[in-house]
Amino acid sequence: MNMSMLGIIDATAHSQNIDDLIQNRSMAAIPFGGRYRLIDFVLSNLVNSGVDSVAIFPKYQYRSLMDHLGSGKEWDLNRKRDGLFFFPSPHLHDEYDEFGSFRQFKDHFDYFKRSRQEYTVITNSHTVCNIDFCKVLKHHIEMGCDVTEITKEGNSLQMYVLKTSLLKDLISSYDNNGFTTLNQVVNEGRSQLNICEYAYNGYVSVIDSIQSYFRYSLDLLKPEVWKELFPKAAPIYTKVKDEPPTKYLKSSYVRNSMIANGCRIEGHVENSIIFRAVHIGKDTVIKNGIIMQKSTVGENCVLDNVILDKDVKIGSHEVLKGTMEHPIVLRKGSVQGVLIKS
């Protein structure tokens, strides 16, 4: 039995609810978990499931996504045959805004025609989980399904499995059959196709707002969530960066936090996620904070329930206090207060 799968990642999602973090990047490229980007999870899931041909369809602000993915080397997708493909939207047409737009797929139809894989997995780029698509495909075949939708507690995860031949038929005839997106096929095509559901019971977080980003980021500090999301048998891959170990000075205090490499910690960090190359000044207290790469926080600051995007600089004696429901967000490259000399 041919169990080979083609991987399609629809990275066109663009939500105003997370606008502060996507001013200069797509949702797929949002930093997450200290060293990852959101797309790392679905891309690693595909690779761990034996998928060796993955096509990514972005629309907005995808330069940083391309920089992160490069040739696909970290995911073993830099191959002479198959590998990683990048298909940006040739137009900013509204039809591309909906997940699984057949018009966007048709603009790159040659890729589908050349593909030899019998089945296709289509997924969004901002669902964080560790799922084995081989188990979904096995369920799909055994149940004789036309399209299998993966759900969590009854809610769609925007992940689907179907035969590549069916997908090509839907794409080539989308302007005549009445279905312009895969969502329409699943929701309105039940009288014509056998639409099945695969209930996934593992940990899932869908990042589509500042609140969900903040809540699910801090979820990673829970040992049970970390164990489920990062099993040794199915690692999550990301772009490798060489950084020295983090330096903890005598004045530092760290509790229940995730600290990436290359940081300099002089203050108090609690229940927080600190990305690479961050500097936390002396006598500064950070609680429930997400501090992204290369940000600098001066001395004697108090930061509680905050998200600092990349390259944010905060001077000394600053106080920023948000709430768990409404964290304070400083956009990439922001400067707050009088900067310390470094």
Taking only the tens place, the pLDDT of each residue in 139-168 is 999 999 999 999 999 999 999 999 999 999
Residue with tokens 């999602």, as numbered in its chain: 13
What pLDDT tens digit does each residue of the chain (342 aa) get?
556 999 999 998 888 899 999 988 999 999 999 999 999 999 999 999 999 999 999 988 889 999 999 999 999 999 888 999 999 877 766 666 778 889 889 999 999 999 999 999 999 999 999 999 999 999 999 999 999 999 999 999 999 999 999 999 999 988 887 788 998 899 887 778 999 999 999 999 999 999 999 999 999 999 999 999 999 999 999 998 888 999 999 999 999 999 999 999 999 999 999 999 999 999 999 999 999 999 999 999 999 999 999 999 999 999 999 999 999 999 999 998 766 554
Helices (H) and strands (E) counted in the chain, each on its own, are 10, 25
Task: Give me the helices (H) in 49-144, please.
Answer: 63-69, 102-106, 109-114, 133-142
Spell out the residues 6+ positions from residue 115 whose beta carbon is closer than 8 angstroms to its own: 6, 53, 164
Please give the Cα distance from 79 to 223 (Å, whole number): 36
Q: How many CB atoms lie within 10 A of CB 135?
A: 12
- Cα separation, 38 vs 201, whole angstroms: 20
The neighbour count for residue 196, using CB atoms within 10 Å, is: 18
Per the structure block, which two tokens stand in for 326? 């409404």
Q: In what order do the strands lie in the sheet with 155-163?
A: 83-86, 53-58, 5-11, 119-124, 155-163, 147-152, 195-199
CB contact set of 286 (below 8 Å; sequence gap of 6+): 267, 268, 269, 270, 272, 280, 297, 301, 303, 304, 306
What is the CB neighbour count within 10 angstroms for residue 103? 18
Residues 125, 171: contact at Cβ < 8 Å?
no
Rounded-to-integer distance, Cα 276 and Cα 246, Å: 9
Look at residue 158 and give its three-state secondary structure.
Answer: strand
- pTM value is 0.93
Structure token digits, residue 295: 């940000």
Q: What's the CA gap between 342 and 138, in Å, rounded? A: 57
Tokens of 228: 């489920």
Question: Which residues, listed in sequence order, are joined to residue 36 by a DSSP beta bridge?
Answer: 32
Torsion sign (Cα): 133, 145, 152, 309: positive
* Burial class of 29 by CB neighbour count within 10 A (0 to 12, 13 to 18, 19+): buried
Q: In Å, how far are 37, 54, 200, 212, 221 from 133, measured between CA atoms?
A: 20, 14, 11, 25, 26
Sign of CA dihedral 184, 186, 187, 189: positive
